[in-house]
Amino acid sequence: MGTDIYGVIEVREPFNALWPDQKRQWVECMNLYPIYPGNGYDGFGCLFGERNWAGWEPVAEGRSLPTDVSETVCKDYEHLARADRAVHGSTWISWPELRDLDMTVRLPARGILGFGDSPGDGTWVQCRIDDQWPNEFIAEYGLSPMSGSPADTPYGTWWQDGTGRQDGFWGQRKSKTMFQYKPTISRHDVLGLGTGWDHVFAVMQTLAHRFGDEGVRLIAWFD
């Protein structure tokens, strides 16, 4: 089963200065979709610890809904949570936290290994590589054409015969599997230009010009 994100950008109630005794502190501004229409697990893990296959230290994991969450967002979340037991991982992150992220921070790993039919398709699997190849990977594919430890293996792309995924009615394996061993990734790689999160950051930055840096935040949960 895949994991999807649901999110809402909230802003501070703009009329609080006029009516300081009102209870509503935050209001729903816009849904995360379609600003971010994807389900990139790299970004989920880096920001929220969800589907964190790479082992990022998440920025905003498991915070639950804010105590002052807007009534609309609270009701929407509670309705979805009652209707679908898969709903989980509610959290939030402020615009200043996103604004001040050090995008040069790199995953403390030796590299990233991807394998499957081709990058980006439904068969493609990625795993973090430290000082040893994963046991599950060795059991399935062996070390060939990688000889020795990850430290001794140059980064690159190659294909291995007779190791493709099972396909079709007879469960026959495809003739080849593609392997891609590359250097470790940074926050910019998973949150920067072209990931979709760049658009989210841009929208929140624009809203901050109107509502203040501390007046914009993202509420999120998963299923």
What mean pLDDT is predicted for residues 120-132? 87
Range in 3-17, 29-43, 121-135, 141-155 with the lowest mean pLDDT: 141-155
pLDDT tens by residue, 160-209: 876 655 554 445 555 688 999 999 999 999 999 999 999 999 999 999 99
Contact 25, 217 (CB under 8 A): no
Higher pLDDT, 84 or 18: 84
Helices assigned H by DSSP within 41-126? 41-48, 71-83, 95-99
Write down the pTM of the prediction: 0.88
pLDDT score at 160: 84
pLDDT score at 220: 98
pLDDT tens by residue, 37-50: 988 999 999 999 99
Sheet holding 216-222, edge to edge: 26-31, 5-12, 216-222, 88-94
